[in-house]
Structure 1
């Protein structure tokens, strides 16, 4: 019986790869018709540039700010004993559609070259809600040496709510995906929150989770909007159960509400720029920064909340885990807006090796986090960042995903190091480097499977890193 099941899964996998490859061939033909006059980025951004002085690394310092333990304990005493991610996975009540069941429009968002070998679309009701958008992804391959959380293979996807009104205008949630069976992925939701009033209540995280990483038992997410911090930290062993089904967030007369979701994650710490703030910069009329616009499912270009300059406050929009570094490190990027002429900053922080601080960043005695290294790239509008050592010599490659522009159907994936740059190509003439996904989100590498996971439009997909390397030119 088990052997027949394996044969069925392998057959379905071959059929899926063939279907996706067919889609990729069709899109490749269309890509060769793109005119070079539509190009909005240099054909070659060149090598990464390193900072000229240590003061530029000093500008990337963060200060760790733990939520007081008594506040978390007070909240747990009122809401009930916390559970871990395993309990959330056991309650998964939604099913991801595989590529065969995705719509033609959903599949158009997938990369052309290399083609996705696995692709999934969210529950139809979740996909049809325009206010909520998937923006980030991380997996248990980031979290653990064996790629598992307990006995489970897990994918986490961060979504942001755009629009609405009142205190719940901006919210953030996480899809907990049980990926044990690649032919049947299930998931459920948890709301991201921040304790207030000494743990007597909580509010929703009013932030865009464009970047998210899972390391050990901690989940780190990027912030935006009115949040002053650069990162918030969540403990996947301290998940609380909501007791009231309603749109309200926080304490209500009959218990605890999480905007209709069953689970809520209260933040356990944050990282704030040692100098400056990540609060959104208002425009001259008091409105939000106009460079951070949205257009349909494409979340628009990211804009740094601070002015240009190598010592500006570190406010990342993309994150990933580099398990090939020693010790493991958090990789971050702060993208320059598309067409701004500014450079995107890339840098990394080490994770702590102290067993009592699992999943937190390495700090000095004052709670200060210092960047290990930093670079600049000419690639703007970056949505995802990934860093991997390329060999025993210690060379490091940086992979940067750039979303599609207004005149193109697909984005670009660049690979850069200190010697130069390369990109995937999907044709033999004209502007053929636009082969990556449309509206691509963050990047996450799963070492145990050799796959890069990402999001494009409303689609979750995986591409072997080896296929990316073969497609680079």
Structure 2
């Protein structure tokens, strides 16, 4: 029986809690009349242009997996795997519901369409200037029934950026994930997990340092973006481990293991590295650095959507997809049995600075629609969310200022929860960090 089959058997007979769809919230200061702009207006990404096959060669990846022996050694030394359920049972922080969010936090939410669900972080996490939320994925990505065991789960990726480039502290670049138990939509709780990488044959580990611009949980694997031209990193959600030493160190300490003060770690099980060498920003024919990720369940097979990271090239940005393996023994992995990963489709879109992209084809539709998040022109105000295809782009227009700045403030990657029909993302900014959901149908409705 496959891992996914065993997972479904465990969930059989369990009653799911209420879906994440909620009653629309009054999250904006005043009602705003909306109009639609078709392929015009400031900041429009224009139409999608297909890339030639030869240009797609720069998108190829190669899979490199850590040996099972090394992973088993680390798990054995740390007392065995605790799994997602073990982390959620030990959740130690609560998220604030919308009514408990500050005016500044609510002000970061989209103007149109309005969010139906919104949550703010624990006070300490909401105010920190060193950690920044970047990406989101959910159990709606992991499994088409939207649950993982008895839980509905949201994962939010944060990265440490201290802002002292000349003298970075030892935490600079660390990556952590909030494991949020969203089973009860009125009482979300979470626990932090530090990302690490095994070393010394699994006898030790080191910290993973990456921007976490994109993250997708598919089946039992978590795939995240990697800095420094490394492509992607992959993790196994069955291999969550507990540290038994509470100190600032990361790795083996005496006869135990420490994780910079975090109780739980998630070790990488491998990577997907660019076959063309390290990535380069802002060059048309170079290997692109990957900026964000999302999942598309409307393709056959399911696919991983990737976007080019923001760089110095303002004209065009590449967007492409990889297909997931359908082999029963390769759950959640991308490559074929030989370890090669080719882009199934690739396009370019006008402009740079894409914060997140999502592909989705509605039942009966002839082609997929792309939803692309863009920052504001000054990068300090609300961004815009565009629906895009090879025939053009359109976005809601907020008539208060005749612009498309209707989306959230400083939003990260996008994630679609298929069962509830909700589009999830999160915002960043001092005292303006919110995790929120908008029905995809409302996004389409705002476009007329």
TM > 0.5 between the two?
A: yes
Whole-Å separation in 2 of the counterparts to 1:62 and 1:433: 36
**Secondary structure of the residue that 2:238 maps to in structure 1?**
coil
Per-residue deviation, 1:42? 3.7
Alignment partner, residue 29 of structure 2 = 23
**Secondary structure of the residue that 1:73 maps to in structure 2?**
helix
Per-residue deviation, 1:394? 3.5
Could you report, residue by residue, the CA deviation over 1:192-215 in whole angstroms, capped at 9, with x for unpaired residues?
Answer: 011122212111111100100000
Whole-Å separation in 2 of the counterparts to 1:47 and 1:405: 19
Alignment partner, residue 303 of structure 2 = 329
Per-residue deviation, 1:116? 0.6
Per-residue deviation, 1:408? 5.5
Q: Between 180-189 and 74-83, report the one with greater CA deviation.
A: 74-83
Alignment partner, residue 466 of structure 1 = 441
Alignment partner, residue 387 of structure 1 = 359
The 3 A distance-change label for structure 1 pair 102 and 65 is same
Alignment partner, residue 4 of structure 2 = none
Per-residue deviation, 1:127? 1.1
Whole-Å separation in 2 of the counterparts to 1:167 and 1:416: 41
CA contact (8 A) 2:70 2:198 kept: yes
Alignment partner, residue 46 of structure 1 = 46
Per-residue deviation, 1:456? 1.4
Whole-Å separation in 1 of the counterparts to 2:254 and 2:269: 25
Per-residue deviation, 1:379? 3.3
How do residues 344-359 of structure 1 correspond to structure 2 at under 5 angstroms? Answer: 344-359=317-332
CA contact (8 A) 2:353 2:374 kept: yes
TM-score, length-scaled by structure 2 = 0.88
CA contact (8 A) 1:308 1:342 kept: no
- Counterpart check, 1:418 vs 2:390: yes
Could you report, residue by residue, the CA deviation over 1:367-387 in whole angstroms, capped at 9, with x for unpaired residues?
Answer: 110000000000321101100
Alignment partner, residue 288 of structure 1 = none
Whole-Å separation in 1 of the counterparts to 2:55 and 2:126: 42
Alignment partner, residue 188 of structure 1 = 191
Could you report, residue by residue, the CA deviation over 1:255-313 in whole angstroms, capped at 9, with x for unpaired residues?
Answer: 111111110000001000011114xxxxxxxxxxxxxxxxxxxxxxxxxx34411x422
| C-alpha RMSD of the superposition | 2.3
Per-residue deviation, 1:335? 3.7
CA contact (8 A) 1:136 1:211 kept: yes
**Secondary structure of the residue that 1:317 maps to in structure 2?**
strand
Matched residue count? 418
- Counterpart check, 1:319 vs 2:293: yes
Alignment partner, residue 8 of structure 2 = none
Unmatched tracts of structure 1, length 5 or more = 1-8, 33-39, 279-304
Per-residue deviation, 1:82? 1.2
The 3 A distance-change label for structure 1 pair 94 and 423 is same
Per-residue deviation, 1:443? 0.4
How do residues 372-411 of structure 1 correspond to structure 2 at under 5 angstroms? Answer: 372-406=344-378, 409-411=381-383
Unmatched tracts of structure 2, length 5 or more = 1-17
Could you report, residue by residue, the CA deviation over 1:336-381 in whole angstroms, capped at 9, with x for unpaired residues?
Answer: 437x423111000000101111000032x43110000000000321
Whole-Å separation in 2 of the counterparts to 1:367 and 1:146: 29
Per-residue deviation, 1:77? 2.2
Query: RCO higher in 1 or 2 (8 Å CA, sep ≥ 6)?
Result: 2
CA contact (8 A) 1:73 1:199 kept: yes
Q: 2:420 aligns with which of 435, 449, 470?
A: 449
Whole-Å separation in 1 of the counterparts to 2:426 and 2:63: 30
The 3 A distance-change label for structure 1 pair 24 and 359 is farther
Whole-Å separation in 2 of the counterparts to 1:176 and 1:152: 11
- Counterpart check, 1:111 vs 2:110: yes
More helix by share: 1
Alignment partner, residue 3 of structure 1 = none
**Secondary structure of the residue that 2:322 maps to in structure 1?**
strand
**Secondary structure of the residue that 2:59 maps to in structure 1?**
coil
CA contact (8 A) 1:24 1:111 kept: no
CA contact (8 A) 1:314 1:334 kept: yes
Alignment partner, residue 177 of structure 2 = 174
CA contact (8 A) 1:276 1:312 kept: no
Alignment partner, residue 338 of structure 2 = 366
TM-score, length-scaled by structure 1 = 0.84
